[in-house]
Structure 1
Amino acid sequence: MFWESQQQLEELVCQLVSWESRTGTEGEILFPFKLKDELVKLEYFERHPEHIALHDAGRNRNGLSALYKHGSTSRTIILMSHFDTVHTKEFGSNSHLAFSPHELGHRFKEIADDFPEEVRADILSDDYLFGRGTMDMKMGIALHMHLVEKAIAHDWPINLLLLTVPDEEVDSAGMRTAVDQLEGLAQTHDLDYALFLNSEPSFTQYPDDPNYYFYSGTIGKIMPSVLFYGVETHVGEPLRGLNAHYMASFLNQQMEFTNVFDETAYGERTPLPVTLKYYDMKADYSAQTSNHVASLYNVFAMEQNADDIFSKFHELVEDTMTQCQNHYEAICRRENTRPVGSIRTMSYQALHDYILKKHGQVKIDEIITQYIARDDLDDREKSMQITNRMLTYCKELVPLAVTLFVPPYYPAVNASEDPLVRSISGLTQEFLNSNYGIVPKEIHYFNGISDASYVSYDSHDDSWETYKANTPVWGKTYTIPFQSMQKLQVPHINIGPFGKDPHKLTERLHKQSGYEITAKLLEAVVKHCMTVTV
């Protein structure tokens, strides 16, 4: 067998890490082809080449699926993972070693005194494998390959569908496109999906956290945003206009750390909102004040949907712009001058409908097409540019704050009460405690954000229509397969290896956790799913 022993698993994860696959690079494009070549070493896939497939994820990227199918059952576990990693700028002069775990480990030993005590101890202990992707999440892929090989070798009476995708670290384009493809795979191969088994690593909850976690859900992330459109003026006559930065400052202060969107479930609480990006859309420097500023916010959710978030956000923007207007008018009274206008608040959907009535669909299509075609802009910038351009055709509305959504959107998913997940939770706690003295903790909403957001969606929830209507790039460069997600309705659990410092220079995998503990635990989970009737 190729990936059976602990030594073989270490060699495999080092090989996967060496195939650097930073998001947006050539390495990400090439990775699934290399992985396919590795998988076809197994005789099973030589005999069943139709069980391995590449799936278009856009921009020359592909996801990969590899199916082990047992003839006696349709019950299927989807082994889901992502193969892209974040970038490596923080490695500095050691960047050339970021994807060579053994060489990087030797280098870190030479400069061990440069690191904090905890990191230095881990370097010198030889208990950890350092390198970009070791923890997040090439070890997870290696463990899934290990499971598929064992299932083939021992004729396990269950189907395993290994599914690994690109782009999880940015927009999850890989998983969003894979959802529709899963339906086709199920029909082609007569598969009944019983479980999504993800193997993202166990993330710490606080600095120096020694606990091992597994996850029965994943937190939601959504980005309500505002385009502030003021009234330009010369800096020598500041009150002849209304600076968009002035407008934005009121909302930025209110949004940062607000508890308006706060949720608590299972004793867990959503992290507070923050401003993720704020920028002036005036490209050049001049003595003219800015009349258009974009502000993008990160909001986490558990049980709230897009409709809930947008309603609260829009109301908060309205209230804040009222405060801004009152403050501005007080200044005008102090300076004995007249205000240039009253600030309105309008949703993107309302703005779209206003432009439609005033100028027609052809003008809207012209505006959207103009910016969708620009490769120098990402989806967030395209959204703001579309909104900004629309406003140039209705200046009678300004000063104005337009509320909208920008990608990405990760809906919250929770399977904590699912009977199969509950039984796996019990198995995981018993297995780790009795065999290794580890007392694992179940997290009901994985706080790392993950592709698991797309494995299911409430079949009775149509709030995604609000998201669709207020996302300028919807249906052009960004979509979410909500209806396909509603059809899936498959429970999810995340059990992965222990590590530390994902996305940092000192990202590292605990070797025993990866090669032995999690490998044996995942095998126990799969065997449990073969027999359990819940």
Structure 2
Amino acid sequence: MNWNTESQLEDLICQLVSWDSRTGTEGEILFPYKLKDELFKLDYFMDNPGFLELHDAGRERNALSGLYRSGQTDRTIILISHFDTVHTKEFGSRSRFAFSPRELTQHFRENMNDFSGEVEEDIKSGDYLFGRGTMDMKMGLALHIHLLEKAIQERWPVNLLLLTVPDEEVDSAGMRTAVEKLDGLKRKHGLDISLFLNSEPSFTQRPEDPNYYIYSGSIGKIMPSALFYGIETHAGEPLRGLNAYYMASFLNQKMEFTDAFSEEEYGEKTPLPLTLKSYDLKEDYSTQTSHHVASLYNVFTMRQNAEDIFVKYDFLAKEAMKECQEQYETICRRENTRPVGQIRTMSYRELYEYTLKKLGAEKTDAILDIYVDRDDLDDREKSMRIANRMVTHCKELVPLAVTLFAPPYYPSVNASEDGLIRDIVGYTKSYMAEHHSIDPIEVHYFNGISDLSYVTYDSHDDSWETYRNNTPVWDRTYTVPFEEMQKLQAPFINIGPFGKDAHKLTERLHRKNAFQVTPELLENILKEFFWEA
């Protein structure tokens, strides 16, 4: 076997990490081709080449699926992972080691004085393997490859479908594409999905946290955003206009750390919202005030859907602009100056319909096309530019705040109450305690955000229409396959290796947990719950 022993698993993770696949790079494009070639080392895929498939995820990227079909049952476990990693700017002069785990680990041992506290202790222990992607999440992929090979070699009486995708770290384009393909794979191969198994790593919940976590849900993330369109003026005559920065400051302050969206489930709380980005659409410097500013806000969810969030957000935006207007008018009275206008607040849907009525379908579509076709802009920038251009054609509306959604959107999902998941959690706790003296802690909402958000979407929820209607790039450069997601009704769980410091210079993987403990655990779970006599 190629990927069975502890040393073979270490060789595998080092190989996967050496294939630099940072999001948006050439390496991300090449990775699935390299992995496909690697999987052809198994005679099973040489005999069944149609069971290894690439799935177009846009921008030359591909997801890869690899199917083991037992021939004894339709019951199928979907093994979900992502192979892209975040970038490595923080490595600085150490960049040459970032994708060489053994070399980087040795380099850190030779330079321990650069670190202190917990990191230094972990380097000294020899228990950790350092490197970009070791923890998040190429070891999860390595574990799935291990399971796939073992199932093939030992002819397990259950089907495994390995599904590894690009772009989890930015927009999850890979998983959103894969979801659309899964229904076709189900029908093509006659699969009955029994479980989605993700193996994102066990994230620490606080500094120096030694606990091992498993996850029966994944937190949601959504980005309510706003375009503030004021009235330009010369900086020498500030009150003859209305600065968009001034407008934005009211909503930025109201959104930052608000508890308006807070949720608590199973004793877990959503992190508070904050402003992820606030910027000027004016590209040059001049003494003209800015009349168009964009802000993007991060909101985490548990039970709330897109409509719940937008209703609250739109209300906060209206309150913020009301307060802005009141303070602005107070200043005008103090300076004995007439206000330049009354601030309006409109949703993107309202702005779109207003523009459509004024300009007609052809001209409105042309506005969208201008920005949709620009490869130099990401979906967030395109969203703001589209709204901005619409307002430019409807200047009678200004000063104006436009509320909208900017990609990406990760719906929250939870399987904590599912009977099978309860049994798997219980089994995991008892197995780990008996065999490894580890007491796993169940977290009901994985706080690292994951591709599990795109499976098992509530089959009765139609609130996604609010998201669709208020996302300027919807169905052009960005979409979420809600209807396909609603078809994927199966329990899910996230059990992966223990590591520390994801997305940091000191990202590292616990060797014993990754190469011995977790492989044994996952194999035993599959045998306990999915083998048929």
- 1:381 is matched with which residue? 381
Measure the CA separation in 2 of the matches of 1:283 and 1:47.
57
- 1:20 is matched with which residue? 20
Measure the CA separation in 2 of the matches of 1:89 and 1:449.
22
- 1:198 is matched with which residue? 198
The one-letter code sitting in structure 2 at the alignment partner of 1:130 is F
Displacement, 1:219? 0.3
- 1:161 is matched with which residue? 161
Q: Can you list the C-alpha shifts for 1:289-328, whole angstroms capped at 9, x where unaligned?
A: 1110000000000000000000000000000111111101
- Where do 4+ consecutive residues of structure 1 move more than 6 Å? none
The one-letter code sitting in structure 2 at the alignment partner of 1:502 is A
TM-score, normalization by structure 2: 0.99
Provide structure 1 residue ranges, at least 5 long, that are not aligned to the other structure.
none
- 1:522 is matched with which residue? 522
Displacement, 1:439? 0.6
- 2:426 is matched with which residue? 426
Q: Can you list the C-alpha shifts for 1:366-394, whole angstroms capped at 9, x where unaligned?
A: 00000111111100000000000000111
Task: Classify the secondary structure of the residue corresponding to 2:180.
Answer: helix
- 1:472 is matched with which residue? 472
Q: Does 1:363 align with 2:354?
A: no
Q: Does 1:235 align with 2:235?
A: yes
Q: Is the 8 A contact 2:457 2:486 kept in 1?
A: yes
Structural mapping, 1:345-364, within 5 Å: 345-364=345-364
- 2:416 is matched with which residue? 416
- 1:251 is matched with which residue? 251
Task: Classify the secondary structure of the residue corresponding to 1:7.
Answer: helix
Measure the CA separation in 2 of the matches of 1:37 and 1:531.
29
Q: Is the 8 A contact 2:230 2:399 kept in 1?
A: yes
The one-letter code sitting in structure 1 at the alignment partner of 2:383 is S
- 2:327 is matched with which residue? 327
Measure the CA separation in 2 of the matches of 1:33 and 1:359.
47
Task: Classify the secondary structure of the residue corresponding to 1:29.
Answer: helix
Displacement, 1:529? 2.5
Measure the CA separation in 2 of the matches of 1:394 and 1:88.
43
Task: Classify the secondary structure of the residue corresponding to 1:497.
Answer: coil
Residue correspondences, number: 533
Measure the CA separation in 1 of the matches of 2:226 and 2:116.
41
Displacement, 1:532? 8.3
- 1:32 is matched with which residue? 32
- 1:79 is matched with which residue? 79
TM-score, normalization by structure 1: 0.99
Displacement, 1:530? 1.6
The one-letter code sitting in structure 2 at the alignment partner of 1:476 is R
The one-letter code sitting in structure 2 at the alignment partner of 1:12 is L
Task: Classify the secondary structure of the residue corresponding to 1:227.
Answer: strand
Task: Classify the secondary structure of the residue corresponding to 1:271.
Answer: coil
- 1:52 is matched with which residue? 52
Measure the CA separation in 2 of the matches of 1:382 and 1:153.
49
Structural mapping, 1:57-456, within 5 Å: 57-456=57-456
Q: Can you list the C-alpha shifts for 1:203-222, whole angstroms capped at 9, x where unaligned?
A: 01111111100000000000
Q: Can you list the C-alpha shifts for 1:176-211, whole angstroms capped at 9, x where unaligned?
A: 000010001111110000110000000011111111
Distance 1:117 1:532, change over 3 A: farther
Displacement, 1:284? 0.8
Measure the CA separation in 1 of the matches of 2:77 and 2:350.
44
Q: Can you list the C-alpha shifts for 1:420-477, whole angstroms capped at 9, x where unaligned?
A: 1111111111111111111110000000001110012111111110000000000000
Measure the CA separation in 2 of the matches of 1:283 and 1:34.
41
Task: Classify the secondary structure of the residue corresponding to 1:462.
Answer: coil
Q: Is the 8 A contact 2:456 2:490 kept in 1?
A: yes
What RMSD over aligned residues (CA atoms) do the two structures have, in Å? 0.9
Measure the CA separation in 1 of the matches of 2:105 and 2:206.
25
Distance 1:532 1:398, change over 3 A: farther
Displacement, 1:26? 0.7
Displacement, 1:282? 0.8
Provide structure 2 residue ranges, at least 5 long, that are not aligned to the other structure.
none
The one-letter code sitting in structure 2 at the alignment partner of 1:331 is I
Q: Is the 8 A contact 2:158 2:531 kept in 1?
A: no
Displacement, 1:528? 2.0
Measure the CA separation in 2 of the matches of 1:83 and 1:500.
18
Task: Classify the secondary structure of the residue corresponding to 1:58.
Answer: coil
Measure the CA separation in 1 of the matches of 2:301 and 2:204.
20
Task: Classify the secondary structure of the residue corresponding to 1:171.
Answer: coil
Identity of aligned residues (%): 69
Displacement, 1:24? 0.5
Task: Classify the secondary structure of the residue corresponding to 1:175.
Answer: helix
The one-letter code sitting in structure 2 at the alignment partner of 1:523 is E
